[in-house]
Chains A and B, each alone.
Chain A
């Protein structure tokens, strides 16, 4: 494995922060080596400096995308930590439906949900499955817009295909839910169209201004801010507050906290989970 020098560490860490906001601990040089070593070797680079120069000069930004894919953690699973989905089912969705149902019966209820670091899609599909479970056939009377975004092109692509191997599937999905919403092709499980049709995935960098996204009723931002610096976290949650409806709901990772990060949110507890609303 190609070794990284202290000077290269600084340059590469700065570069990674710039392209995707991820702040890597520079004392963990092995992290850089294990994640970027193979890319460097594949491109025939003799040093990380050379990889950096190549990435900078690459007009198609293909190397940049490869680096983002290698650096961003795509550890996720269906119904990762069940409490946010119970919260969604028993409190948030019924409340938001109440609040959004128009007085004119002909009009559909609009609800916009955003999975802001959607990785390979498990979180957003889990949200969609929760909606199906809660509303059953009544779901057709609602207009749910489910958006998933991620910094990694590869993750976005896999999420859009909605294809999962048996290891990805077996973690977290009860067999009944699996058979209801997925079809088996060989060793691959594919999300059925009724679920696939509810969601949209696209690439998005949370470090950039949130233009063109509109306002959301529910935002999931779980386990992504942990990779950012304190300053970037503050900016991120400030932008999230701007993108959330006044009576909207924010859900962050179960071991994350907004104390000292964003004073525009108030934490609220329901059963064993916490959600945030704007002051």
Chain B
């Protein structure tokens, strides 16, 4: 069972359909777009984990711009680029912009599935770290509240003790009124 939702963006209908079918066969949830414009629309309306996009596409939005659009919407979306061999330099450039990886055409599916598994593993590790952190936050918040109350209570007691001490050592006053005054502080 694969948990990732993958958006495939490719202007070539044959490649797009082939990719989609292979991913569905592997149990991934798949969304399809034929250009950057459609991809943007889908990203805005759906939760997507991974975008698999062709680098070179006709129209106004290129694969590189799809990275920006996806990352702007949700920084956690991972983008894998599909490139022709000749555009490897551009792909490396794209990775600097935040793409997770790139694959050269023709697509080696074993390689693609490995990358997706890696992303999936990474996500579940991050998720459990996040769960742990939240559990720790709850514990910490509760502990902090208890400690703060004790700290203020201890501070108040210390103040009373200091006041009582200064009254009791004050030998200008007779001992009876010193004790009465000290008791007053204690009982307040």
Q: Decide if A and B are genuine partners.
A: yes
Q: Which residues of A contact B (CB under 8 A)?
A: 81, 166, 170, 186-187, 254-259, 263, 266-267, 269, 273-274
B95 CB → nearest A CB, Å: 8
Q: A170-B75, A255-B147, A257-B147 are in contact. Are A267 and B140 (CB under 8 A)?
A: no
A186: chain B residues at CB < 8 Å are: 96-98
Other-chain residue from A187, A254, A267, A273 in contact with B155 (beta carbon distance below 8 A): A267
B151 and A166 within 8 A (CB)? no
A274 and B151 within 8 A (CB)? yes
Q: A186-B96, A269-B152, A274-B152 are in contact. Are A166 and B75 (CB under 8 A)?
A: yes
Q: Mark B74-101, 1 if CB is under 8 A from A, else 0.
A: 0100000000000000000000111000
Q: Mark B96-109, 1 if CB is under 8 A from A, else 0.
A: 11100000000000
B140: chain A residues at CB < 8 Å are: 81, 254-255
Please list the 8 inter-chain residue pairs (A to B) with the smallest Cβ-Cβ separation, ordered nearest first: A254-B144, A267-B155, A259-B154, A186-B96, A255-B143, A267-B151, A274-B148, A255-B144
A267: chain B residues at CB < 8 Å are: 151-152, 154-155
Known: A170-B75, A259-B150. 10 other contacts (CB 8 A): A166-B75, A186-B96, A186-B98, A255-B140, A255-B143, A256-B147, A257-B147, A257-B154, A259-B151, A267-B152
B98: chain A residues at CB < 8 Å are: 186-187
B75: chain A residues at CB < 8 Å are: 166, 170
Q: Mark B19-40, 1 if CB is under 8 A from A, else 0.
A: 0000000000000000000000
A257: chain B residues at CB < 8 Å are: 147, 150-151, 154
B159: chain A residues at CB < 8 Å are: 266
A258: chain B residues at CB < 8 Å are: 151
With an 8 A cutoff between CB atoms, is B175 at the interface? no
Nearest CB in chain B to that of A254: its residue: B144
Q: Which residues of B contact A (CB under 8 A)?
A: 75, 96-98, 140-141, 143-144, 147-148, 150-152, 154-155, 158-159
Other-chain residue from A81, A187, A269 in contact with B148 (beta carbon distance below 8 A): A269
B152: chain A residues at CB < 8 Å are: 267, 269, 274
A187: chain B residues at CB < 8 Å are: 98
Give the complex CA separation of A187 and B95 in angstroms.
Answer: 9
A170: chain B residues at CB < 8 Å are: 75
B158 and A263 within 8 A (CB)? yes
B147: chain A residues at CB < 8 Å are: 254-257
A266 and B151 within 8 A (CB)? no
A-B contact pairs, 8 of them (CB 8 A): A166-B75, A187-B98, A254-B148, A257-B151, A259-B151, A263-B158, A267-B155, A269-B148
A272 CB → nearest B CB, Å: 8
Give the complex CA separation of A254 and B150 in angstroms.
Answer: 12
Give the complex CA separation of A267 and B140 in angstroms.
Answer: 19
Give the complex CA separation of A51 and B150 in angstroms.
Answer: 44
Nearest CB in chain A to that of B97: its residue: A186
Give the complex CA separation of A187 and B76 in angstroms.
Answer: 12
Give the most central of A186, A259, A263: most B CB within 10 Å. Answer: A259
A256: chain B residues at CB < 8 Å are: 147
B143: chain A residues at CB < 8 Å are: 255
B71 CB → nearest A CB, Å: 9
Give the most central of A166, A255, A263: most B CB within 10 Å. Answer: A255
A263: chain B residues at CB < 8 Å are: 158
Give the complex CA separation of A23 and B85 in angstroms.
Answer: 56
A269: chain B residues at CB < 8 Å are: 148, 152
Nearest CB in chain B to that of A77: its residue: B133
Give the complex CA separation of A256 and B151 in angstroms.
Answer: 9
B96: chain A residues at CB < 8 Å are: 186
B125 CB → nearest A CB, Å: 11
Give the complex CA separation of A258 and B147 in angstroms.
Answer: 10
A266: chain B residues at CB < 8 Å are: 155, 158-159
Nearest CB in chain B to that of A169: its residue: B75
Give the complex CA separation of A186 and B158 in angstroms.
Answer: 55
